[in-house]
Amino acid sequence: MPNLGAPELLIILVVLVFLFGAKRLPDMSRSVARSMKIFKTEVKEMREEDKPAHPTQTSQTDQVRYDARPLEGRVESAADRQQQSARQTHGDI
């Protein structure tokens, strides 16, 4: 791929001015800059979410999530256990 020097960049700039006009170029550059800023912040937030928490900072819900073991291919919730115990006491099983 050829290198872009000063003459090539000047030609590209002149073509852009002819295509979009001198009044639209600053607006376009601002919108591109805003879009890049939003994109960078979103990428940064995604990276922070992917970082594992330190063991001292794990919450109780994190510990429950890791300690939960599926029962016959599914995780049993507290509501499921209550329904099952209600069925056993009423003789629905």
> Is residue 4 included in any domain, yes or no?
yes
At 39, the amino acid letter reads F
Residues 80 and 86: beta-carbon distance below 8 Å: no
pTM attached to this predicted model? 0.40
Tell me which DSSP letter residue 52 carries.
Answer: P
Range of the domain at 29: 1-51
In a domain, 87, yes or no: no
Q: Can you tell me the mean pLDDT for 6-10?
A: 90
Task: Tell me the CA distances in angstroms from 54 to 50, 51, 58, 65, 68, one per residue in order.
Answer: 12, 9, 7, 16, 20
Q: pLDDT band for position 11 (50/70/90)? A: very high
Position 75 in a domain: no
Residue 8 in any domain: the answer is: yes
Cβ-in-10-Å burial (0-12, 13-18, 19+) of 36 comes to exposed
